[in-house]
């Protein structure tokens, strides 16, 4: 009886702290894994520089997911201190274009003053507010064709959404790291917003593209944690940092390293790179 208790205890400790088995339930991995695959995840978090280009299992950092955050799998492309740029030709890290990277979604002009309901619908559909701008002609927003279809079907108003090819502005930001102070501007504050709110317990005010701490505007912020930029391998349907933003180190469950069962023969007993 004692031996059985010891064996069960060891197995539980291994599963809790070292290795866990998870089932893939979403279509976020492209050709790497399939829905229904069972994978082993190494929960021993390695050094930060060893997580680059690895498939990671991580929790959603969004405040609305606090109660029971969903799990996602994606490939880490951005480490603390690196410069991320997303353009019309894809993602660049420190100026280097990633092979087969996600492309910048096209820009659309929304010809109606429906800002309040538009923002609410984007939030409910988990569509990121990529480069959202408002001018005299309407609201400009970048989104995929699938996201546009979801938006049109979800809005109660009948609206005209027109693609505008000439709107090609890129965006660029530096990945925050523990103890790193970063300059803020209107765009980067959109990227860092959730991380700043989490780190400060919400005791700051972010409005009109500016950060206020105890009523005083701050143009710089020193982060307490390391953050990562993680992309799904399914560009059109996968949920990743384009939707969730920066992923804190503490939200990474572990590294996906082995598929031990799959309905797809090619995936069975497959080491994940």
For 61-65, 124-128, 144-148, which range has the lowest pLDDT when averaged over its residues? 61-65
CATH number at residue 13: 2.10.109.10
Confidence of residue 227 (pLDDT cuts 50, 70, 90): very high
What is the reported pLDDT for 6? Answer: 42
Q: With respect to residue 32, please indicate whether it lies within any of the assigned structural domains.
A: yes
What's the whole-number mean pLDDT along residues 163-190?
81
What is the reported pLDDT for 174? Answer: 94
Residues with Cβ within 8 Å of 16's Cβ and at least 6 positions away in sequence, in order, are none
Whether residues 111 and 42 fall in one domain: no
For 87-96, 179-188, 241-250, which range has the lowest pLDDT when averaged over its residues? 87-96
Q: With respect to residue 201, please indicate whether it lies within any of the assigned structural domains.
A: no
Q: With respect to residue 211, please indicate whether it lies within any of the assigned structural domains.
A: no
Q: What is the DSSP string of the chain?
A: -HHHHHHHHHHHHIIIIIEEEEE--SS-STTS--TT-EEEEE-S---GGGSTTSEEEEE---GGGSSSPPEEEEEEEE-TT-EEEEETTEEEETTEEPTTPPPPPPEEEE-S--HHHHHHHHHHTT---EEEEEETTEEEEE--HHHHHHHHHH-SS---EEE-TT----EEEEPP-TT-EEE--HHHHHHHHHHHHHHHTT-SEEETTEEEETTEEESEEE-SS-EEEEE-S-TTT--SHHHH--EEGGGEEEEEEEEEE-SSGGGTTEE--
Q: With respect to residue 94, please indicate whether it lies within any of the assigned structural domains.
A: no
Whether residues 10 and 62 fall in one domain: yes
Percent of the chain with pLDDT over 70: 78
What's the whole-number mean pLDDT along residues 23-29?
62
pLDDT tens digit sequence for 82-129: 999 877 677 889 988 877 666 667 788 887 677 888 888 888 887 877
What is the reported pLDDT for 213? Answer: 92
For 8-12, 46-50, 257-261, 263-267, which range has the lowest pLDDT when averaged over its residues? 8-12
Whether residues 7 and 79 fall in one domain: yes
The model's pTM is 0.71
Confidence of residue 79 (pLDDT cuts 50, 70, 90): very high
Average pLDDT across the chain, whole number:
78
Residues with Cβ within 8 Å of 210's Cβ and at least 6 positions away in sequence, in order, are 184, 186, 189, 217
CATH number at residue 115: 3.30.70
Find which of 23-37, 47-61, 190-204 is predicted with most confidence, using mean pLDDT: 190-204
Q: With respect to residue 92, please indicate whether it lies within any of the assigned structural domains.
A: no
Q: Structural domain tally of the chain?
A: 2
Q: Which residue range(s) make up the domain with 234? A: 2-83+174-180+223-271
What is the reported pLDDT for 179? Answer: 95
Whether residues 71 and 125 fall in one domain: no
What's the whole-number mean pLDDT along residues 189-203?
89
What is the reported pLDDT for 23? Answer: 73
What's the whole-number mean pLDDT along residues 6-33?
53
What is the reported pLDDT for 9? Answer: 38
What's the whole-number mean pLDDT along residues 160-166?
72
Whether residues 74 and 9 fall in one domain: yes
Q: With respect to residue 217, please indicate whether it lies within any of the assigned structural domains.
A: no
Q: Which residue has the higher pLDDT, 166 or 102?
A: 102
């Amino acid at each position: 009886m004692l031996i059985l208790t010891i064996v069960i205890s060891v197995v539980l400790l291994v599963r809790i702290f070292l290795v866990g088995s998870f089932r893939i339930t979403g279509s976020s991995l492209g050709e790497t894994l399939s829905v229904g695959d069972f994978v082993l995840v190494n929960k021993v978090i390695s050094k930060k520089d060893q997580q680059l280009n690895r498939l990671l299992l991580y929790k959603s950092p969004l405040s609305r997911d606090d109660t029971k955050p969903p799990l996602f799998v994606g490939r880490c492309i951005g480490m603390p201190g690196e410069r991320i740029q997303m353009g019309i030709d894809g993602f660049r890290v420190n100026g280097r274009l990633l092979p087969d990277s996600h492309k910048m979604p096209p820009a659309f002009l929304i010809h109606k003053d429906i800002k309040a309901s538009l923002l609410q619908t984007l939030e409910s559909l988990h569509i990121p507010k990529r480069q959202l701008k408002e001018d005299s002609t309407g609201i400009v927003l970048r989104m995929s064709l699938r996201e546009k279809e979801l938006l049109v079907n979800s809005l109660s108003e009948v609206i005209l959404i027109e693609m505008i090819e000439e709107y090609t502005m890129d965006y660029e930001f530096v990945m925050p790291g523990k103890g790193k102070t970063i300059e803020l501007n209107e765009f980067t504050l959109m990227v860092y917003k959730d991380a700043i709110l989490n780190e400060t317990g919400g005791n700051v005010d972010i409005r009109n593209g500016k950060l206020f701490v105890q009523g005083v505007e701050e143009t710089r912020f020193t982060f307490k944690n390391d953050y990562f930029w993680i992309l799904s391998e399914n560009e059109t349907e996968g949920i990743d940092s384009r939707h969730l933003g920066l992923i804190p180190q503490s939200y990474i469950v572990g590294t996906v390293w082995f598929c031990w069962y799959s309905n797809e023969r090619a995936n069975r007993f497959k080491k994940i790179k």
